[in-house]
A = this chain, B = another copy of it.
Amino acid sequence: MKKVYFDNAATSNPKPDSVLDAMQHYLKHICTSPGRGGYGQGLEAGRIVYETRKKIKDLFNAPSEENVIFTQNITYALNFVMMGLLKPKDHVITTSMEHNSVIRPLRFLERTRQIEVTVVPCDAQGKLAPEDIRNAIRDNTKLIVMTHASNVTGQIMPVEAVAKIKEQAGVFFMLDTAQSAGVLDIDFKRLKLDFLAFTGHKSLYGPPGTGGLVISNAAAKAVDPVIHGGTGSLSDSEMQPGFLPDKFEAGTPNTVGIAGLSAALDFINEKGIDSIREHERQLTLAFIRGLKQIPRIKVYGSEDPEERVGTVSISVEGVDLGKMAYELDADYGIMIRSGLHCSPLAHKTIGTFPEGTLRFSFGVFNTMEDITYGLEVLNEMAAKIK
């Protein structure tokens, strides 16, 4: 059976061959603790980690390599900031399109640390009006945290407008780039970001186990580390070092994953973000156009392909979506994700809670033939609905 992977918003698949090769090479020929031994093979591990920091720095226009922190996934990066920055009575602004990696830490801090949270509502298409962010700002607002693109509807958020508002208000701004890094141009300095959380294993095409945080020097001073331990630096001290990146990197890093991410960043750079974006835009446009011809199917989110990344949520009238997702895989080899996508608030916003949607999300390895096949299958399945 033909196999088509449309779950790239969860994790991209396949990975470039060069990622697999880099990880094999690392395990076979290096595999030491980076920079902590006095021997050459340990320095080589350190060099790989440093070069990957440099590639992330270049991708996002970060201040320097040291401002790039590696974590297991983007959830850790988001938590590091929220758990390490926010003090009792601090106010945080976020949106109703966020993933639980933003909402759950905030709800926990609301309950245990008297943080105040404003969730700015988006409209039924999942669109944010930037002035609603401005109107939510209070004297005690410490942080605005929001996604760059929705993991449910693919909606691209108006981050440039929010960047202006944040600058005027003098508050911290964290961007969740889980669905945009590697697909949209993201400039840390131009967007006046204090924190940029990224994941390695989605649209950056790296392995699971990679992700991180870009953090400005000023913002880093305001954040306590959440995890403390060995850093290979200032080993005579019983306190976590105050400098970057060591302040936020304790214990042995996932060096083999970072080696894979490094190769993935080369892949992204060779393809070019603009060309990746254009490819996904065309697939998305064709998919949405096709969906509109199919009875019983409702497409969520913006109609404008310029306003969305390659993620499309649909519902199908008269069908159990979980069962339909199962059949798409079992009968047609199409892998998608049904349900709430860890984003209950987003589904409430677009009116699909608690059933959720069927989510199709495209990657650089998907082709127009995949889209055509997906549409044929959906047509066939829709025709069978009694």
Residues of chain A having any CB pair with chain B under 8 Å: 5, 7, 10-11, 13-15, 19-20, 23-24, 27-28, 31-33, 36-42, 71-76, 78-79, 83, 99-101, 103-105, 107-108, 112, 199, 201, 207-209, 211, 224-232, 235-240, 250-257, 322, 325-326, 328-330, 335-345, 353-354, 356
Contacts and interface: CB of A to CB of B under 8 A. Distances in A.
A104 B250 contact: yes
Contacts of A330: 40
A244 to B, nearest CB: 17
Contacts of A345: 238
The 8 closest A-B pairs by CB, nearest first: A75-B251, A209-B254, A230-B342, A101-B229, A75-B229, A39-B329, A38-B325, A104-B228
Contact of A235 (B71, B72, B340): B340
Given A32-B10, A229-B101, A251 B76 contact: yes
A211 B201 CA distance: 19
B31 A229 contact: no
Contacts of A15: 27, 31
Task: List the number of copies, as a whole number.
Answer: 2
A39 B332 CA distance: 11
Contacts of A325: 37-39
A28 B39 contact: no
Contacts of A71: 72
Contacts of A32: 7, 10-11, 13, 335
A356 B236 CA distance: 9
Contact of A208 (B99, B225, B252, B329): B252
B257 A108 contact: no
